[in-house]
Amino acid sequence: MGKQIVFEGERIATGYRQGKQLTEVHHGLDFSLSGGELTCLLGCNGAGKSTLLRTLAGMQPPLSGRLELMGRPLEAYSAHERSKTIGVVLTDRMQAGGLTVYELVALGRQPYTGFFGRLTSADKALVWRALEEVGMGGKARRYVAELSDGERQKAMIAKVLVQECPLILLDEPTAFLDVESRMEVMRLLRKLAVEEHKAVLLSTHDVDQALAMSDRLWLMTQEREMLCGTTEDLVLSGAMDRLFGSTSIRFDAVRGIYAPENRNSRVVRLEVADEALRYWAQNLLVRHGFRPVAPDEGGEGAASLAVISPHDMVWTQNGTSSRFCSFAGLVEMLEGLK
Ligand SMILES: Nc1ncnc2c1ncn2[C@@H]1O[C@H](COP(=O)(O)OP(=O)(O)OP(=O)(O)O)[C@@H](O)[C@H]1O
């Protein structure tokens, strides 16, 4: 089954208009979001992620360009129609402390029931299902003001679930969550995209989760471009190195993480078979000012480290070898070299 385009932008400029003053954040953005796909929007602080999300949500107009939602111009939608079509979770719009979690989530049904509308039993079942899905069933009667940041975020996601919109936009939905909750929320959003054919777009600074879970990435680069594509295509094209201005961090495409560029000059030949051992031995050596290289790469007089197991490693320098039974022992020796 072909994927249905839910939202499309053509030559979009985003930014702010105050009187005659215009502050442009992006221009010339082309993009689309399809049902059945989870898309993650990545970019450094101030890159323009929230600005774009607010623009897509219809909360601020684009400075120019054409936005089409389900085949109709976004500006042709009334606020009521929008609320049935776009579910939005923003970080900075939480004034619901006086409500219980159940009441907050039930507000998500408002586009269908009206402000004073009563929830039908089907509406109530939806609210409970959403609460269970985000793991908040047991906290339904708690006041929102009493929730932790992470719990509040989960409640907001439940609210958007009951809104039953084809498009869901979320600004940093995992910002306050612990690792397990972050994974749960990302899994939930992906499930929602895939099983209910929704288009889900979220901004995040959580690169590893984004790379693991998103079908597509939108990458805001330092040059104020936005690169859109399938996650793996973008990663392997080197695009991840364009997110940050600093040349001191680099994206490691093998591990899928950002790491400081290793500018250490003291070379160590590292001999190790196991992948995990190699990673942690390199980690330790770099932290202590070395540049680990493959055994056949080292220059004249370079030291070498053979790591046989976490309890057996041999450091050889100037023809003398020392054996260590832990990384702690190795560190002690390395610190003595300084
Ligand atoms: N109300 C506003 N008026 C004028 N400029 C604004 C306004 N809000 C944000 N900006 C500017 O727009 C640019 C993009 O900000 P935005 O909040 O969209 O970035 P972001 O990618 O979401 O950042 P972060 O990761 O830090 O949340 C920034 O330079 C910011 O200063």
Name the band, by pLDDT with cuts 50, 70 and 90, for residue 94.
low
In short, whether 16's Cβ falls inside 6 Å of ligand 1 is yes
Residue 51 Cα to ligand 1 midpoint, Å, equals 6
More confidently predicted of 331 and 91: 331
User: How far is the C-alpha of 127 from the C-alpha of 103, rounded, in Å?
Assistant: 9
For 185-207, the pLDDT digits (tens) are 899 899 999 998 999 999 999 99
User: How far is the C-alpha of 183 from the C-alpha of 281, rounded, in Å?
Assistant: 28
Q: How many C-beta atoms surround the C-beta of residue 11 within 10 A?
A: 12
In short, whether 14's Cβ falls inside 6 Å of ligand 1 is no
In short, whether 47's Cβ falls inside 6 Å of ligand 1 is yes
Taken in order 250, 253, 259, 262, is the CA torsion positive or negative? negative
Name the band, by pLDDT with cuts 50, 70 and 90, for residue 118.
confident
Tell me what the mean pLDDT of segment 146-169 comes to: 90
Token pair 């439940």: residue? 158
Tell me what the mean pLDDT of segment 6-11 comes to: 97
The region of weakest confidence among 94-98, 260-264, 334-338 is 94-98
Name the band, by pLDDT with cuts 50, 70 and 90, for residue 92.
low
State the alpha helices, DSSP H only, in the chain.
49-56, 79-85, 101-106, 110-113, 121-133, 149-162, 179-196, 207-213, 231-236, 275-287, 327-337
Residue 153 Cα to ligand 1 midpoint, Å, equals 21
Best mutation site among 22, 26, 49, 92 for ligand 1, i.e. most ligand atoms within 8 A of its Cβ?
Answer: 49
pLDDT of residue 264: 85
**Residue nearest (by alpha carbon) to ligand 1 atom 8:** 51
Contact 19, 181 (CB under 8 A): no
% the chain with pLDDT above 70:
96
Residue 43 Cα to ligand 1 midpoint, Å, equals 12
Residue 21 Cα to ligand 1 midpoint, Å, equals 16
User: How far is the C-alpha of 158 from the C-alpha of 142, rounded, in Å?
Assistant: 15
Tokens of 321: 């070898």
Tokens of 336: 């003595």
Token pair 């919109």: residue? 165
pLDDT of residue 116: 66
In short, whether 265's Cβ falls inside 6 Å of ligand 1 is no
Largest CA distance in the chain: 84
Contact 81, 161 (CB under 8 A): no
pLDDT of residue 121: 87
Cβ neighbours for 144, distance < 8 A, ≥ 6 positions apart = 94, 96, 97, 98, 99, 100, 101, 104, 152, 155
Q: How far is CA 230 from CA 169, 197, 218, 226, in A?
A: 19, 17, 9, 13
Q: What is the mean pLDDT of the chain?
A: 91
User: How far is the C-alpha of 100 from the C-alpha of 139, rounded, in Å?
Assistant: 9
Contact 137, 130 (CB under 8 A): no
Whether the predicted pLDDT of 293 surpasses 80: yes
Whether the predicted pLDDT of 133 surpasses 60: yes
The region of weakest confidence among 32-41, 124-133, 240-249 is 240-249
pLDDT of residue 112: 79
Q: How far is CA 336 from CA 321, 326, 328, 331, in A?
A: 15, 16, 13, 9
Contact 80, 111 (CB under 8 A): yes
In short, whether 43's Cβ falls inside 6 Å of ligand 1 is yes
pTM of the model: 0.89
In short, whether 279's Cβ falls inside 6 Å of ligand 1 is no
Q: 52-81 burial string, b = 16+ CB within 10 Å, else e? A: bbbbbbbebebbebebbbbeeebeebeeee
**Residue nearest (by alpha carbon) to ligand 1 atom 7:** 16
Kindly list the structural domains of the chain, giving each domain's residue range(s) and its CATH number in brackets, ordered by start. 5-249 (3.40.50.300), 266-337 (no CATH)
In short, whether 49's Cβ falls inside 6 Å of ligand 1 is yes
**Shortest-distance atom of ligand 1 to CA 203:** 22
pLDDT of residue 324: 97
Whether the predicted pLDDT of 64 surpasses 80: yes
Best mutation site among 24, 25, 90, 205 for ligand 1, i.e. most ligand atoms within 8 A of its Cβ?
Answer: 25
For 78-88, the pLDDT digits (tens) are 998 998 899 99
Per-residue DSSP letter, 3:
P
In short, whether 17's Cβ falls inside 6 Å of ligand 1 is no
